[in-house]
Amino acid sequence: MTRKDIPSRDRLIFALDVPDCDRARSLAEELGPSVTFYKIGLELMMSGGYFELLDWLLARDKQVFCDLKFFDIPATVGSAVRQLKDRGASFVTVHGNRSMMEAAAEMKGDSLKVLGVTVLTSLDRGDLDDLGFACDIEALVLSRAKQALESGCDGVISSGLEVPKLREYLDHKFKDNKLLVVSPGIRPVDNKPAGDQKRVVTVETAFQNGVDYIVVGRPIRDAASPRAVAEAMQASIAAQFAT
């Protein structure tokens, strides 16, 4: 398990994957203190009011992960990160090659952390074949994580399934153990339907495998009591880091 000095309640990131900012605010108010860290992504960006929502969350002492997966020519990626770096967000994602990640890392400033996307948790072996990747998923994750750290990124987005090998390889190679691993595709129990997520793990397995933060969306959002589910996950996380 990771032993980075991260407050237990900050390790749960809730994905505000909803159609508009009014619904996002309503859900955040319903969750109250059960969630301290929110992910806001492309759907909300395109709905309008994205930065107003970012400011609204920050004003309530929440941390914000801007999951925008920048992919463009390096100069444009760097400029986009430069525009974001002073807005108060904690994380931003880049889904590109080494030069894109280098440009993002160069412009990120002191407080914004850049996370390189390894392999989306919605992809499996067949999807990689369609995309023209001949290597297996684990090898691709390790290769992209290595590139991310060598490019100056602060961490990676990775399924919890690949994290044990990722930790074994990269924590040995990069002795300072600074790699942050953020894992989506989290489900409360093994038999929970995954929807469009194909490579999923439970909350407990994710942290046992060495994840620093988990991103959870539908299991909380679609629950009869989102706050109760979030609090149950917080209790599970706290129990794992209690010793």
Indicate which residues carry an active-site annotation. Answer: 69
Please check whether residue 214 is in contact with residue 1, taking contact to mean a CB–CB distance below 8 angstroms: no
What is the Cα Rg of the chain in Å? Answer: 17
Taking phi over 0 as left and psi of -120 to 50 as alpha, with beta for the rest, 10 belongs to: alpha
Which of 2, 13, 4, 3 has the alpha carbon at shortest distance from 90? 13
Please check whether residue 233 is in contact with residue 221, taking contact to mean a CB–CB distance below 8 angstroms: no
Give the 3-state secondary structure of residue 204: helix
Quote the tokens at residue 94.
Answer: 């880049």
